[in-house]
Amino acid sequence: MGDVLSALFTLLVFPGFGFLFFCALVFQWIDRQVAARLQGRIGPPWFQPLADFIKLMAKEDVLPAGAHQRACAALPMVSLAAVLTAALVIPINNHATSVFEGDLIVALFLLSLPALAYFLAGWLSASVFSVVGGSRALLQYFAYEVPFLMALGGPAILCGSWSISRIAAQQSQTVWMIVVQPVGFLLAFVGLIGKLKRSPFDIPKAKSEIGAGPLTEFSGRKLALWNLSLDMKTVVSIFLLVNVFLGGSLTPFAVPAALIFGVKALLILLALSVTGVLYARLRIDQLAILGWRGLAPLALVQTLIVILMGV
């Protein structure tokens, strides 16, 4: 009985749904505040993300008649479920709910499901804007995913394990992965921008060209769940990067481990916000060229170096 209760607590409160929901809202607010301050505005008040979520949940939920009603109702939940499951294997403050060899691969696979659900949402929504947005989302997925996966494979090879918890723990004996593989971190960071569809890679939801892209026809609860799943994906992906490259909760100073984990995550978030404000949006073919001609060869070189170093 106690096991069941503690399992429910882990899944629903900490570090499960409740904690991630809270983090998603906080991260969204920090991102919007930083972007606003850099542009000279005052930014939204602290309760804005929560208010947006509650408002969307209460709004009317309509889909065009030609859209696939059941699939479009299921897709946001698929996306949310994938992100929440991926969070189970990612250590937060050195403690993951589930640890096994190969959980890095599982986490990466689960984190790429929302992108496919996003594409399907656009395709099945039966609107010109969403179809174009969906096909762009798929092209973008291929452009960033390959370098991202290869970049994350580097620390795994170097630490000799495919489990995130062990990679994070290993960094206490050697050194943080970012020091040894700065190029790998850079590739993972750029891949992260593409994964989270943030500027300059927010091509599928280019507001001035195709409305909201694949999510144009969604409204009400479905849209609230979509936004929540995308925000949680931000949180989970940042936690993943902190564990793999920045040593999890390790620190040379005598500070509480949880605080350090939060600080590292916020630093990555800050870097994401600043790069979002700094550039114009790229076109999809320019992103494809950047991905295949720039990032993928770099990732190959990085992987070769890692293999040679390990030998």
Q: Match 């399992």 to its residue by tokens.
A: 7
Q: Counting contacts by CB under 8 A, is residue 277 touching another protein?
A: yes
**Contact pick of 200, 204, 247, 291 for another protein (by CB under 8 A):** 200
**Contact pick of 4, 42, 308, 311 for another protein (by CB under 8 A):** 42
Residue (136 or 264) nearer to another protein, CB: 136
Residue (34 or 238) nearer to another protein, CB: 34
Question: Nearest Cα to 173, choosing from 186, 162, 160?
Answer: 160
Residues 207-246 vs another protein: string with x where CB under 8 A? xxx-x-----------------------------------
**Contact pick of 284, 295, 299, 306 for another protein (by CB under 8 A):** 284
Q: Counting contacts by CB under 8 A, is residue 283 touching another protein?
A: yes
Q: Counting contacts by CB under 8 A, is residue 65 touching another protein?
A: no
Residue (148 or 201) nearer to another protein, CB: 201
**Contact pick of 87, 113, 115, 203 for another protein (by CB under 8 A):** 203
**Contact pick of 28, 170, 171, 199 for another protein (by CB under 8 A):** 199
**Contact pick of 278, 300, 301, 309 for another protein (by CB under 8 A):** 278
Q: How far is CA 179 from the centre of its chain?
A: 23
What residues contact 278, with CB distance under 8 A and at least 6 apart?
Answer: none
From the CB of 38, what's the least distance to another protein, in Å?
Answer: 5
* Residue count, binding to another protein (CB under 8 A): 28
From the CB of 34, what's the least distance to another protein, in Å?
Answer: 9
**Contact pick of 11, 30, 38, 99 for another protein (by CB under 8 A):** 38
What residues contact 202, with CB distance under 8 A and at least 6 apart?
Answer: 281
CA distance 129 to 103: 37
Among positions 122-161, residues that touch another protein (CB under 8 A) are: 128, 132
**Contact pick of 282, 295, 298, 306 for another protein (by CB under 8 A):** 282
From the CB of 204, what's the least distance to another protein, in Å?
Answer: 11
CA-CA-CA-CA torsion sign (261, 253, 98, 194)? positive
CA distance 194 to 181: 20
Q: Cβ-count burial of 57 within 10 angstroms (0-12 exposed, 13-18 middle, 19+ buried)?
A: middle
Residue (67 or 113) nearer to another protein, CB: 67
Find out whether the peptide bond into 49 is cis, omega within 30 degrees of 0.
Answer: no
Please count the other Cβ atoms lying within 10 Å of the Cβ belonging to residue 38.
Answer: 14
Q: Counting contacts by CB under 8 A, is residue 308 touching another protein?
A: no
Residue (203 or 244) nearer to another protein, CB: 203
CA distance 199 to 35: 11
CA distance 291 to 138: 13
CA distance 17 to 279: 33
Which phi-psi region, left, alpha or beta, contains residue 45 (left: φ > 0; alpha: ψ -120 to 50)?
beta
Stretch that binds another protein, among 64-72, 77-85, 162-170, 270-278 (CB under 8 A): 270-278
From the CB of 64, what's the least distance to another protein, in Å?
Answer: 15
CA distance 27 to 297: 32
Find out whether the peptide bond into 15 is cis, omega within 30 degrees of 0.
Answer: yes
Report the interface residues with another protein, using CB under 8 A.
37-42, 128, 132, 199-200, 202-203, 206-209, 211, 274, 277-286
